């Protein structure tokens, strides 16, 4: 993968199925050590990433067609002052058509979704959930500090 490891929220290690994301709890990272599902908490301070006033982009790459058109994925970007996310603060939800706010449905993928956020706290993560039987295949989530032109 051509991205700096400090900028990878989810590396595609496990398919985004109900069993992986919800049952095995891969979709809720609480450590800067990558979990078996490929999710990790990014420490914006120690990685010296920082965030400019214009923000940082979360890029969600949904590389495969979902198992069914009605599959539902909720992907939320959260920040926290602590790595354990004891008090998480939602920065936004990734969506495509917005038919159901904050939910990506199977008929909308494959696709790439970009959400600009401006975190003010040290730790950042992507929290994902799907409903029973849903399968979105391999998904990547990346951070990009340079997605917007400054004029």
Q: How far is the first Cα of the chain from the last one, in angstroms, to the nearest whole number?
A: 30
Which alpha helices (H) appear in the chain, and where do they start and end?
18
Q: How many residues does the chain have?
A: 151
3-state secondary structure 27-46: CCCCCCCCCCCCECCEECCC
Q: What is the pLDDT of residue 1?
A: 47
Q: What is the pLDDT of residue 100?
A: 76
Q: Kindly report, residue by residue over 53-90, the tens digit of the pLDDT.
A: 778 899 999 999 999 999 999 999 999 999 999 999 99
Domains of the chain: 5-144 (2.60.120)
3-state secondary structure of 82: coil
The pLDDT tens digits along the chain (151 residues) read 455 777 899 999 999 999 999 999 899 999 999 999 999 999 988 756 667 777 889 999 999 999 999 999 999 999 999 999 999 999 999 999 877 788 999 999 999 999 999 998 999 999 999 998 899 999 999 998 776 665 5
Cβ proximity of 125 and 81 under 8 Å: no
Q: Which residues pair with 52 in a beta bridge?
A: none
**CA neighbor of 80 nearest in space, from 24, 126, 142, 26:** 126
């Amino acid at each position: 993968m051509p991205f700096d490891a400090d900028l990878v929220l989810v590396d595609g290690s496990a398919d985004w199925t109900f069993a992986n994301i919800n049952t095995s709890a891969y979709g809720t990272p609480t450590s800067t050590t990558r979990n078996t599902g490929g999710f990790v908490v990014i420490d914006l301070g120690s990685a010296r990433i920082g965030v400019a006033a214009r923000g940082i982009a979360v890029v969600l790459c949904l590389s495969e067609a979902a198992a069914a058109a009605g599959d539902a994925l909720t992907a939320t970007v959260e920040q926290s002052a602590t790595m354990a996310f004891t008090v998480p603060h939602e920065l936004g939800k990734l969506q495509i058509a917005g038919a159901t706010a904050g939910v990506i449905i199977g008929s909308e993928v494959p696709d790439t979704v970009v959400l600009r956020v401006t975190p003010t706290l040290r730790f950042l993560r992507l929290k994902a959930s799907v409903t029973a039987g849903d399968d979105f295949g391999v998904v990547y989530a990346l951070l990009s500090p340079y997605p917007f032109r400054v004029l």
